[in-house]
Amino acid sequence: MSDHSIRFRLNGAVVERVVPAERLLLDLLRSDLGKTGTKDGCSIGVCGLCTVQVDGAPMSACLLLATQIDGAAITTVEGLASADGPSELQEAFIAEGGFQCGICTSGQLVAAAALLEARPDATAAEVSDWMMGNLCRCTGYYGIARAIASARPR
């Protein structure tokens, strides 16, 4: 198996790395780079726990090879806060009960942040459509929907 050198931005910072061809982005983030905010649930692209933004678009890190993100800008949950602290969306997840156990929360936040960026005026139905790939077993989704609605720019 061959090794490849890749270069990408992770939450704004440039990362250069040599990775084996079969290395998954999820393992690169969690094991090699210690960014464990991104979680591994189903490992097959169904649960959304591993959602990261690749150039702004939400994608499952368990389905991407590290070599595929060469040159891209990756945002993980660790990149959602600013120097002033957590984003309005993140705070809304606390205030509205957007999580309980928290295992799905990184993925939910990363997907929702991408939505607010791409379609700030999304209707409730569009929010559901966008967030459908992010499972949550705790909240029943109502708190997540409230959190996203309350963080929408008015």
- Which one of ligand FES, another protein, none is in contact with 62 (Cβ closer than 5 to 8 A by kind)? ligand FES
With beta carbons less than 8 A apart as the criterion, state whether 15 and 7 touch.
Answer: yes
Among residues 6, 143, 134, which one has the least CA distance to residue 58? 134
With beta carbons less than 8 A apart as the criterion, state whether 101 and 78 touch.
Answer: no
Quick one: which of 5, 32, 129, 149 contacts another protein (CB under 8 A)? 129
- Chain residues binding ligand FES by CB under 6 A are 40-43, 45-50, 60, 62, 99-105, 136-139
In the complex, minimum distance from the CB of residue 14 to another protein, in angstroms, rounded to a whole number: 20
Q: How far apart are CA 87 and CA 95, in angstroms?
A: 13
Phi, psi of 150 (to 5 degrees): -75, -20
- Which one of another protein, ligand FES, none is in contact with 68 (Cβ closer than 5 to 8 A by kind)? none
- Which one of ligand FES, another protein, none is in contact with 106 (Cβ closer than 5 to 8 A by kind)? another protein
Quick one: which segment of 53-61, 66-74, 96-104, 115-123 binds another protein (CB under 8 A)?
96-104
Query: At 13, is the secondary structure helix, strand, or coil?
Result: strand
Site for another protein in 7-46 (CB under 8 A): 30, 34-44, 46
Q: How far apart are CA 18 and CA 76, in angstroms?
A: 20
| 122 belongs to the binding site for another protein (CB under 8 A) | no
In the complex, minimum distance from the CB of residue 151 to another protein, in angstroms, rounded to a whole number: 12
Beta strands in 56-140 (DSSP E): 57-60, 73-75
| 60 belongs to the binding site for another protein (CB under 8 A) | no
